[in-house]
Structure 1
Amino acid sequence: MEDEIDAEIIEPFKLSFSDLTLLSSYSSTIRYSLSEEENERLDSISRAVMETLGPSGPGLLLVSPVPKAAADLRRSLLPLARKLALLSDEDRRRVLKEYSLCTDVPLKNPDRGVSSFALQLKYVKDTIAFGESNDTAKDTFEAHLGSGSLHDPSDEEFKSLENNFRELGNCMMEVGLLLARLCDMAIGGQELEQSILESRAAKGRLIHYHSTLDNCILKEARKAKGSSKRLTNNLSAHLHGRGVSGISNLNEEAPVKNLNLVTGGNNAKSCKTSLSNLWEQWHYDYGIFTVLTVPMFISSILTEAKQGLRMSFEQECSPPDGHSYLQILHPTRKSICLVKCPPESFVVQVGESADVLSKGKLCSTLHSVCRPAKQGFVSRETFVVFLQPAWDKTFIIPETICESSIECDRYIEMEDEEIQSTAESVSPSSEVRQSHDLTQVIHKIIPPLSSRLKNGMTFAEFSRETTKQYYGASGMQSKR
């Protein structure tokens, strides 16, 4: 089977923040005060949200646009992910301790593809009362942004790190709560919102996805052991050894040429993707909602001066190929789709806990993050907030989830001959068979929900079992 296939580029359903706040407080009183046309529009949006997040949809949507203050926080915070990742181990430990952050990846590994910096976020208030006006909900959101909280990251580098982390995290938690309420109103009851509120906290992660250059810098910095001259010589040799060309031999400082930097996206309807060239492996999130900023891509420019090769500057660049490099396995199309989204957006994904709590009305998103091809100087930065139930929340598995899990297990356990036969019956084209085979491989490396979730389990037990089966010593992705 070929590893590389065409993937469709999709732009998910957009839910405006103003409509989200209105729908989350959509009482009979508000309905009565609106025109018939406006009520029909809001009903249509509510149905579209449930279809998008339900079993036949992609399992994610965009809240777009976000208020300008949130967009400013994103622009201020995301570049700090790369700066943190490329600090020396000693300096990074000091900065993380000073600003109350921790990490959940082995940062001493210079070949790591991801650096992740985490902080526990507390809810600012218990809830926004049902029936609250749209203006009040918007004011609450804006209050999280803190009008005077922004600092220039170039001024004392990390001075704004913790404050901006909390400010943006609180905004994203509020978006998740409003969406949970909207879904509860469509499903009936308050299970999703109350489960989030009972946890009283969420995890925020600032994530840097390494470029090839980043890994070269980390690896050669360790070998150089503090020697600037040795580092530049080692880095130059390493880059040439990796096939990264274009470093000029000038006696005065000059920009490195031919770096194949991205200058803009394109309008292509499909793009190549593969199973092996991934920043993050295929998985389901196991919480309720995952709220993400749209990623920022940073290109690094090298210059060569008398004292040797050095980093000259970093600049934000347009997304390679015009999409976010977040990819999903669409549940009904049975194909891989790459997600495109404007920068002034939040992406909201459904997690497996929402599957259970909604009794199958919502459907979790199977996703991964792929790398740009031939873009060794481009890194990816994002910020993520995971909304989850309280650790002692007990799961009662609804019958609809059991039936869905059994069907998924049967699909995964198909013999190779049956897979090939099924693919050929769908279409004689090699492209369709290739896509079908790749989706089979993806399903086979994902531990089935039925093997991780048992009736009566707490969320803490479910999360431990999920982590073990994905990444434990004998986990399905431990060697990937």
Structure 2
Amino acid sequence: MEGAEVLELYEIQYSDLMLLSSSSSSSCLHHQVNMIMENLGPVGPGLLSITNVPDASLIRRRLLPLARKLALLGPEDRKRILREHSLGSDVPLKNPDRNVSSFAMQLKYAQGLESIETKPSHGVGSHLNLENEKICRISDFEDDEFDDLENMFKALGLCMMELGLCLARICDRAIGGNELEQSLLKSCAAKGRLIHYHSIVDSLVLREAGRRKGSSKRHANNYARSEQRLSKVANLDTNVNEVRSYDTQPNLWQQWHYDYGIFTVLTDPMFLLSSQPTTASDEFSISRYQECASPSGHSYLQIFHPNKNKVLMVKSSPESLIVQVGESADVLSKGKLRSTLHCVCRPARLDNICRETFVVFLQPAWSKTFSISDCPMEHYNAVCQPLEQAEESNVADQDQNALTQEIQKMVPPLSARLKDGMTFAEFSRETTKQYYGGSGLQSNK
């Protein structure tokens, strides 16, 4: 749905965010606080962006390409690199048809920036000149490409955690109390994820690597047939277990869902353009890439705006950091903040574009208890109000109404997942079960 209306995010400068979070309210700051609450609250989209964060841009440019390199490494090399840098994964990396490769780490608030120096290193910023890294060979990687992986992961992650805490403090003052900030601090940790969204070419690389492992002799003969298959499936989801879209839905990297924490902080994505092998003798694993601009000028993050009853395509400033509201913030603020229903779509008809991002999920402690008895459940996730008199509406409205109904079918309502007195751990388990479990509507692969 690349023709969707574009939402340009409200932006706040890092310096202004720091000032707002550390200062008592004054008349000159009221407008910015009001704008933050308007964008994160019931009438807004539930997200905003933060610009000019010191050093974040440099770390982002060095860290994000490593997501693709890790995704396309051989299993043993990848396992060793992840182990050396204290990383794991929460997706089945053995599945060659996965849409996403995700590399995760627990980040502790108590670590502070001194944790960046826990291992010998050349420093977080010492390898950030990308001029010589535009073209790379995945198969010829050197271990020193990943020397600063853990340090950069922690540096950017802790920076994003600080932004989340500052924003929680600002929201708390506007709402009254300190529920959001204290809930984050009591959790002691957040989860960081370095994520590679596979291009169709990347998927082909992984499939061919698997075939070569079984029988390298068939590689040359299989290439022509594989490329032919590639052209046929360029606009189809490569994960056969994923929920199938109706005609009104785009091809999705990630299906519609809510994040169930307090805040999700993520980088503006990076797009990489892969070069396909030109002959049958070329190695699939030598797929080259270079950074490119977004094919359509936006992030390919889509949200459903309940007040407007429509899907919007999110556009953010290059190298900004985006903050979106999760369901726990919706509940803890008693509806003063609104969780963001979102998905990630693929660029249409472009089989060699992949997407890289880094995300930090800020959540309450697992033992945090939710009380919802004093706020009506219908107040939460008033997601989609079906369009009335659809038969009298124009074609665009009818298409939008069909998409709205499809999203409603795919996303289990909050009222079905959250009960009064539940802990965050129980809510998390129930949410995961309903999205991905035996009766769930979505795949976790």
TM-score (norm 1): 0.80
Tell whether 2:310 aligns with 1:335: yes
C-alpha distance in structure 2 between counterparts of 1:383 and 1:336, whole Å: 23
* Code of the aligned partner of 2:334: K
CA distance in 1, matches of 2:381, 2:317: 37
Specify the alignment match of 2:138 in structure 1.
Answer: none
Partner of 1:17: 14
* Aligned residue identity for 1:222: G
Corresponding residue of 1:221: 209
Q: Which moved more, 1:86-95 or 1:444-453?
A: 86-95
Q: Secondary structure at the match of 1:319?
A: coil
Q: Which amino acid aligns with 2:390?
A: A
| Contact 2:191-2:360 at 8 Å conserved across structures | yes
Q: 2:57 & 2:96 partners in 1: Cα distance? A: 31
Residue 284 of structure 1 is matched in structure 2 by: 258
Picking from 378, 382, 385, the partner of 2:353 is 378
Output the amino acid matched with 1:103: S
In the other structure, the counterpart of 2:40 is: 53
Separation of aligned partners in 2, 1:191 and 1:112: 38
SS at match of 1:323: coil
Are 2:433 and 1:468 aligned? yes
Q: Secondary structure at the match of 1:103?
A: coil
Residues 378-427 of structure 1: per-residue CA shift (max 9 Å, x gap): 1000000000000000111154351324966xx68xxxxxx6753245xx
Say yes or no: does 1:181 pair with 2:146.
Answer: no
Q: 1:114 maps to which residue? A: 100
Instruction: Decide whether aligned partners of structure 1 residues 280 and 407 sit closer, same or farther in structure 2, where only a CA change above 3 A counts.
Output: closer
User: Are the aligned partners of 1:233 and 1:309 in contact in 2 as well (CA < 8 Å)?
Assistant: no
Structure 2 partner of 1:438:
403
Report the AA paired with residue 53 of structure 1.
Answer: L
**Corresponding residue of 1:96:** 82
Contact 2:367 2:424 in 1 (8 A): yes
In the alignment, residue 440 of structure 1 is paired with which amino acid? Q
Give 2:107's aligned amino acid.
Answer: L
**Deviation of the 1:237 alpha carbon:** 3.3
**Pairing 1:270-309 to 2, within 5 Å after superposition:** 274-304=248-278, 307-308=281-282
CA displacement, residues 43-90 of structure 1 (integer Å, 9 cap, x when unaligned) = 1111010010001100000011222x1111000110010111111222
Alpha-carbon separation, structure 2, partners of 1:301 and 1:385: 30
Q: Distance in 2 between matches of 1:439 and 1:420?
A: 9
CA distance in 1, matches of 2:199, 2:289: 12
* Unmatched segments (≥5 aa) in structure 2: 134-141, 235-246
Structure 2 counterparts to residues 347-362 of structure 1, below 5 A? 347-362=322-337
Tell me, what secondary structure is at the counterpart of 2:4? Answer: strand
Deviations for 1:342-377, whole angstroms, at most 9, x for unmatched residues?
Answer: 222100000000011111100000000000011111
CA distance in 1, matches of 2:412, 2:330: 16
1:266 corresponds in structure 2 to: none
Cα distance in 2 for residues equivalent to 1:439 and 1:235: 41
What is the alpha-carbon distance in structure 2 between the residues aligned to residue 375 and residue 282 of structure 1? 21
| Cα shift at 1:242 | 2.0
- Contact 2:2–2:348 (CA under 8 A) maintained in structure 1: no
CA drift of 1:147 comes to: 10
| Alpha-carbon distance between aligned partners in 1 of 2:381 and 2:61, rounded to the nearest angstrom | 44
Secondary structure class of the residue paired with 1:381: strand
Say which of 148, 155, 170 aligns to 1:160: 148
Output the TM-score relative to the length of structure 2: 0.86
Task: Give ranges in structure 1 of 5+ residues lacking alignment.
Answer: 32-38, 127-138, 246-258, 260-272, 413-418
Does the CA-based 8 Å contact 1:359-1:398 persist in structure 2? no
**More deviation, 467-476/228-237:** 228-237
How far is the alpha carbon of 1:240 from its aligned partner? 2.8
- Distance in 2, Cα, partners of 1:52 & 1:236: 50
**Aligned-residue CA RMSD in angstroms?**
2.9
Measured in 2, the distance between the counterparts of 1:398 and 1:87 equals 50
The superposition leaves residues 226-281 of structure 1 with CA deviations (integer Å, 9 ceiling, x where unpaired) of: 87775455344312332289xxxxxxxxxxxxx9xxxxxxxxxxxxx952510000
Q: Which amino acid aligns with 1:278?
A: L
Residues 377, 406 of structure 1: alpha-carbon distance in 2 compared, 3 angstrom cutoff = closer
CA contact (8 A) 2:266 2:357 kept: yes
Q: How many residues align?
A: 416
Query: Displacement of 1:158 after TM fit?
Result: 1.2
| Alpha-carbon distance, 1:433 to partner | 1.2
Give the partner amino acid of 1:286. Answer: Y
2:339–2:381 Cα contact (<8 Å) kept: no
AA partner of residue 418 (structure 2): L
Partner of 2:139: none
- Separation of aligned partners in 1, 2:89 and 2:111: 26
Amino acid at match of 1:389: P
CA–CA separation in structure 2 for the residues paired with 1:5 and 1:431: 14
How far apart, CA to CA, are the structure 2 residues paired with 1:368 and 1:16?
A: 26
Q: Is 1:77 matched up with 2:63? A: yes
Q: For residues 362-441 of structure 1, what are the structure 2 equivalents within 5 Å?
A: 362-397=337-372, 399-405=374-380, 422-424=389-391, 428-441=393-406
CA contact (8 A) 2:330 2:380 kept: no
Deviation at 1:300, TM superposition (A): 1.1
Which structure is larger by alpha-carbon Rg, 1 or 2? 1
- Contact 1:24/1:178 (<8 A) preserved: yes
Matches within 5 A, 1:230-269: 230-231=218-219, 233-243=221-231
Per-residue displacement from partner, 1:445-475 (whole Å, max 9, x unpaired)? 1111011000100000000000000000111
Percent same amino acid among aligned pairs?
A: 56
Q: Is the partner of 1:347 in helix, strand or coil?
A: strand
What is the CA-CA distance between 1:6 and the residue it aligns to? 3.7
Distance across 1 between alignment mates of 2:266 and 2:410: 24
Could you tell me whether the CA contact under 8 Å between 2:258 and 2:340 is conserved in 1?
yes
